[in-house]
């Protein structure tokens, strides 16, 4: 079975459609024109390459103010605003509730992370979209609004993002935020790790019903993140995860939406569920693709998108880079998984959409491609998977 990407094209160096299917050049010229119009506005006095964007800088201490330092646009979490709360009378999206706060220690090592945001990279020559971000999740020393995050990203050529839900609250956040900023689209779902707990509590049906309701919103373009995760969930939770995965596949098919897959330590089982499904969604996307060349070949054969995150830049990610090297160019996407998976050399620090260029440049090197050409292809692929961002 395929993920329904028959309209996909490989682009030549001029951004014109080539490869399977007809009419690709005309369709791509429309997207390319939109890209270049956006690119003309990619300047911001608050974002300079090599410096942390203004919105991501902690507010200066009072003694710094006295010395004449300019105030920060970010709200310091170690100052007047405690972690996990928004300033009085405000919320991160101007109406949506604040989300959870990322742990300050590394997941595996337990070592404390650096909580400073990295400096902004050089802008991309052609804009792209962040395929997967959690803009409700709090991290670092400052609280950044959705608009500030998108403004900083746009200044370096990341002109929009897909805000992805993982439970009812985050899915509601994504829908609300996407309704307030046209640069944002939403995905809604229950995370596979939540499915066993919800089932044990007797709350799964009600939660999934709410996800199905949210999926009808105009700004929702995908069901996700859903899938299988055997890293955190033991054998006793597998049945509940598979049931939830199958329910989300059916919902994506019913609504005509794409689907984003969370696959952790479950490659073979995810593929099995997809291949056993009677029908698959219009586009199947492996978020934060974590497989090797073998899984990349399976995705190539089935037309499933592979979205690469900052993990592809990690020093120990040789197998992931091998997968990227052989991935069908028509199936490659890019993402941050904000605030997680910050690209090298900033691994462990907070992540944000403005760091996409760091990953894109490594991806171009791995594929021995011109950065502009790869950006064009990734942008085209993203709009093929989800539709127009305007």
pLDDT digits (tens, 9 = 90+) for 334-356: 999 999 999 999 999 999 999 99
For residue 7, tell me if it sits in a domain.
no
Q: What is the per-residue pLDDT for 340?
A: 95
Q: Measure the CA–CA gap between 354 and 122, rounded to whole angstroms.
A: 10
Query: With 80 as the cut, is the pLDDT of residue 69 above it?
Result: no
Residue 39 lies in a domain: no
Q: Count how many Cα atoms sit within 13 Å of the Cα of residue 324 in the half-sphere of its side chain.
A: 30
Q: Span 309-327, mean pLDDT? A: 98
Q: Which residues form the domain of 93?
A: 52-57+71-386
Residue 189 lies in a domain: yes
Residue 14 lies in a domain: no
Measure CA of the first residue to CA of the last residue in the chain; give whole Å.
30
Instruction: Give the model's confidence band at 150: pLDDT under 50 very low, under 70 low, under 90 confident, else very high.
Output: very high
pTM score of the predicted model: 0.84
pLDDT at 109: 62
Cα radius of gyration rounded to whole Å, the chain = 20
pLDDT at position 92 is: 41
Rounded distance between C-alpha atoms, residue 219 and residue 222, angstroms: 9
Is 66 part of any domain?
Answer: no
Higher confidence at residue 234 or residue 129? 129
Cα-based distances in Å from 282 to 90, 152, 165, 298, 385:
38, 31, 19, 17, 8
Residue 192 covered by a domain: yes
Within a domain: 100: yes
Mean pLDDT calculated for residue range 133-158: 94
In Å, the largest CA–CA distance within the chain is 67
**Which pLDDT belongs to residue 278?**
97
State the pLDDT confidence band at 138, using cuts at 50, 70 and 90.
confident
Q: What is the CATH number of the domain that holds 328?
A: 3.20.20.140
d(CA 227, CA 238): 11
pLDDT band at 140 (very low <50, low <70, confident <90, very high): confident
Q: Are 390 and 34 in contact (CB under 8 A)?
A: yes
Residue 151 lies in a domain: yes
Domain count, the chain: 1
Long-range contact set of residues 242-245: C-beta below 8 Å, sequence gap at least 24: 242/269, 242/273, 243/195, 243/199, 244/190, 244/192, 244/195, 244/204, 244/208, 245/192, 245/270, 245/273
């Amino acid at each position: 079975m395929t993920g329904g990407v028959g309209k996909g094209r490989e682009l030549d160096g001029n951004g014109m459609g080539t490869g399977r299917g007809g009419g690709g050049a005309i369709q791509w010229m429309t997207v390319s024109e939109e890209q270049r119009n956006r690119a003309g506005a990619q300047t911001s006095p608050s974002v300079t390459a090599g410096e942390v964007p203004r919105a991501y800088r902690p507010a200066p201490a009072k003694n710094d103010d006295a010395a004449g330092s300019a105030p920060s646009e970010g709200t310091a979490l170690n100052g007047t605003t405690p972690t996990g709360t928004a300033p009085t009378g405000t919320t991160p999206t101007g109406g949506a509730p604040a989300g959870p706060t990322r742990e300050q220690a590394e997941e595996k090592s337990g070592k404390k992370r650096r909580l400073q945001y990295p400096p902004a990279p050089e802008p991309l020559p052609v804009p792209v979209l962040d395929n997967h971000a959690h803009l409700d999740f709090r991290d670092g020393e400052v609280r950044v609004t959705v608009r500030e995050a998108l403004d900083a990203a746009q200044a370096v050529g990341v002109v929009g993002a897909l805000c992805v839900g993982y439970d009812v609250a985050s899915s509601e956040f994504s829908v609300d935020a996407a309704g307030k900023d046209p640069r944002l689209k939403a995905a809604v779902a229950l995370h596979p790790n939540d499915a066993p707990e919800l089932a044990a509590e007797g709350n799964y049906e009600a939660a999934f019903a709410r996800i199905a309701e949210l999926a009808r919103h105009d700004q929702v373009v995908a069901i996700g993140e859903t899938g299988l995760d055997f890293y955190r969930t033991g054998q006793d939770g597998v049945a509940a995860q598979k049931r939830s995965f199958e329910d989300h596949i059916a919902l994506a098919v019913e609504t005509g939406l794409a689907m984003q897959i969370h696959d952790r330590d479950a490659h073979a089982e995810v593929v099995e569920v997809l291949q056993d499904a009677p029908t698959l969604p219009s586009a199947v996307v492996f978020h934060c693709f974590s497989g090797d060349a073998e899984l990349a070949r399976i995705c190539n054969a089935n037309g499933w998108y592979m979205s690469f995150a900052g993990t592809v830049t990690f020093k120990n990610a040789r197998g992931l880079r091998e997968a990227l090297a052989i991935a069908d160019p028509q199936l490659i996407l890019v993402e941050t998984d904000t605030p997680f998976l910050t690209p090298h050399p900033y691994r462990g620090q907070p992540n944000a959409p403005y760091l996409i260029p760091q990953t894109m440049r490594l991806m171009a090197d791995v594929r021995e491609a011109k950065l502009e050409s790869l950006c064009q292809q990734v942008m085209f692929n993203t709009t093929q998977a989800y539709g127009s961002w305007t």
